[in-house]
């Protein structure tokens, strides 16, 4: 917490919760900064179950996610992910899935470590905002899906992000009109800020 730019201190868990199936949340869930773990194998196989499914308009906050973390958080529509900390990202950390071009997904505070490939995976339409967030030892902080069956236009706004040992901040498909905006970015080591792809 603190900092406002993703430079705050990484929290310790207040307890731990082993889950064995996806937690299908209501419109508001506060995890009390406990550690949740137990879905999937911690590796990169696709189609692992998510840890948490958040409904359209829902908020998940104050959660620590530990391995194995499966497919992370799924936002079925607009959502807020506030002060959520991934100690070891699973296949990815969260997936944004709305079919509406006006969907807004907000990641506010928190951080992610050890995402072998992607942290935030944008498969639906709309705009992902990532603010006051830190990422360590990961591939891409954000990727607009390059091969999903719906070639939506996808947008990302990063405001107050600190990256360490991370290869790429955003990967977007310029042929589909995706956009990425950056402000208050701090990079330790080297990173590509925006990698442009051709979606297929």
Q: Residue 158: how many CA atoms within 13 Å on its side-chain side?
A: 24
Q: Shortest distance, CB of residue 96 to Ca ion, whole angstroms?
A: 11
Residues 6+ apart with CB under 8 A from 190: none
71 binds Ca ion (CB under 5 A): yes
Residue 27 interface partner, choices Ca ion, ligand ADA, none, CB cut-off 5-8 Å depending on type? none
Smaller CB separation from ligand ADA, 48 or 162? 48
Of residues 99, 100, 147, 186, which one binds ligand ADA by CB under 6 A? 147
Residues 6+ apart with CB under 8 A from 91: 40, 43, 44, 45, 46, 48, 70, 71, 72, 117
Residue 114 interface partner, choices Ca ion, ligand ADA, none, CB cut-off 5-8 Å depending on type? Ca ion
Q: How many CB atoms lie within 10 A of CB 133?
A: 26
The mark string for 88-117 relative to ligand ADA (x by CB under 6 A, - otherwise) is ---xx--x----------------------
Can you give the binding site for ligand ADA, defined by CB under 6 A? 46, 91-92, 95, 121, 123, 145, 147-148
Residues in contact with Ca ion by the rule CB under 5 A:
71, 88-89, 91-92, 114, 116
């Amino acid at each position: 917490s603190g900092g406002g730019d993703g430079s705050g201190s990484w929290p310790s868990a207040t307890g731990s919760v082993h889950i064995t199936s996806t937690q299908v949340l209501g419109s508001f869930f506060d995890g009390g900064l406990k550690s949740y773990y137990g879905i999937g194998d911690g590796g990169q196989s696709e189609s692992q179950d998510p840890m948490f499914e958040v409904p359209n308009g829902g908020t998940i906050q104050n959660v620590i996610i530990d391995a194995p973390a499966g497919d992370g958080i799924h936002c079925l529509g607009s959502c807020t992910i506030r002060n959520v900390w991934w100690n070891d990202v699973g296949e990815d950390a969260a997936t944004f899935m709305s079919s509406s071009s006006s969907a807004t997904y907000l990641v506010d505070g928190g951080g992610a470590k050890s995402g072998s490939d992607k942290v935030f995976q944008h498969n639906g339409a709309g705009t992902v905002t990532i603010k006051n967030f830190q990422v360590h030892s990961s591939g891409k902080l954000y990727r607009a899906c390059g091969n999903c069956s719906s070639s939506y236009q996808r947008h990302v706004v990063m405001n107050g992000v600190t990256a360490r040992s991370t290869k790429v901040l955003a990967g977007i498909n310029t042929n589909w009109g995706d956009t990425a905006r950056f402000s208050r970015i701090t990079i330790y080591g080297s990173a590509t800020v925006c990698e442009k792809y051709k979606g297929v």
